[in-house]
Amino acid sequence: MLEPQDNPNSAIMVDPPGVLRRLMAWQFQRRHGTAAREARRARLEASRRKAGAPHVVEYFHQLDDPYSHLTAQVLAQFAERYDIEVKPWLVRAAGGKNQPEMEKLTAWARRDAGLVAPHYGLEFPAAAADRPDPELTLFAARKLADMPADAFVAHINAVSSALWSGDAGFFTDTSNASGVSAALDEGSRRRTELGHYSGAMFYYAGEWYWGVDRLFHLEARLRELDVCTAPTQSFLVERPAIDVHGIDASQLELDFYPSLNSPYTSIIYDRTLAMKAACNVRFHHKPVLPMIMRGVPATPTKGNYIIFDTQREADYFNVPFGPMLTPIGTPTRNAYSLLPWARDQGKDEVLMSSLLRHAFAEGVALHTKAGMRRAIEAAGMDWQEASRQLGDESWKLIVERHQDEMVEGLGLWGVPSYRLSGGGKADLAVWGQDRLWLIAAEIRERAAAG
């Protein structure tokens, strides 16, 4: 279904009035804009110096989380390379509205971790199930629950490797049974108190960093504070480049599933178009509705983290982001009603790019006629003709088909998502703006093999 009648998100979230859109924009900029982030960092660092306190990085490890297993492989190196105190916690999966579709999320995390591990110089057991054996997970928790912080950091890689590889012999010592539940409760409570919900999370001075995928952001921050013991060395886990230079991918096909209300989509959309143009891959543009409109539960905690993380990613990679003004609801429906008309002119990608840029980098109010006109004309399209197309409903069947492909066919529900086909291999489906590099790497491999 395109938009469920029993959407768990409130009507005011799905289609907020203009004044609320502007209030949200002001709040996001005040809390998560670049200037606000830098001011907060300076304030917290000054407070730490005044107190004479050490740099404390809290790490939240979820034993049955594949991303936590990847992070376990670099935790000791991270602690050694920086003049910091690492305070580790054991946590449970949060579930609930912050982690909807838990079974799908579990399957996806296992698959994704296995895909990215070799590119990060890490390992993930090929035969591992979506979750490790529950009994071995309990044994692993018993080993770690009462360990001092330095011992936890030193041993977590061995424990996690034995757990995910199913090495029952490693867990012959099953002492410390009484402290497991209390340790998991305490760690999960601390994570909630600080404002997050995932495993493999680092927390340092007001900011969250997700596992090996965001560790380079934390390393960059610590290097700015001059606490790196090896500043000439590269980051422990660097983000691979999106590089298809000199590649002919004309025999491959790439499906791209963006959304107009996705901050992450807004910072990767043009880079996706640039990549497909550079390698000549056969490209299929398949917009879907925003998750909130599709009935995927959303929470303020998750929304705040997404905006903050998008701003940080955009700044690091020098991509425009902010000021932003959400185009959720009616603006999205109006914009999508123009896509069939724009596609007939070969301009649906140009139009989507303009809409995303105006909403998320220029703070243009797409819920107003003036704002919509500005974005349409910036795409080189005629406003008078566009205004006659507004409200056309032929887009609904098209977008519903895209959503069915992505959600039911690929088992994904977040955006942006990608599917690469061809080259004599099974389709590769991935989710997230931080996975375009993986698509690029697979394009290089398949093109070379072809």
Length reported for the chain: 450
Q: Where in the chain is the domain with CATH 3.40.30.10?
A: 33-224, 253-449
Give the pLDDT confidence of 171-217 residue by residue, as tens digits: 986 566 668 999 999 999 999 999 999 999 999 999 999 999 999 99
Q: Indicate whether 409 pLDDT > 70.
A: yes
pLDDT of residue 225: 98
Q: CATH fold of 33-224, please? A: Glutaredoxin (3.40.30)
pLDDT of residue 103: 87
Give the pLDDT confidence of 2-48 residue by residue, as tens digits: 999 899 999 999 999 999 999 999 999 899 999 999 999 999 999 99
DSSP string, 91-125: -----GGGS-SHHHHHHHHHHHHHHHGGGGT----
Residue 150 is encoded by which pair of tokens?
Answer: 């330095």
Q: Largest Cα–Cα distance of the chain, in whole Å?
A: 75
Q: CATH fold of 253-449, please? A: Glutaredoxin (3.40.30)
Give the pLDDT confidence of 103-150 residue by residue, as tens digits: 889 999 999 999 999 999 999 999 999 999 999 999 999 999 989 999
- Confidence class of residue 386 from pLDDT cuts 50, 70 and 90? very high
Q: Which residue's structure tokens are 């071995």?
A: 136
* Mean pLDDT in residue range 41-67: 98
- 8 Å CB contact between 74 and 212: yes
What mean pLDDT is reported for the chain? 96
Q: Indicate whether 97 pLDDT > 90.
A: no
User: How many other C-beta atoms can be found within 10 angstroms of the C-beta atom of residue 384?
Assistant: 7
- 8 Å CB contact between 433 and 264: yes
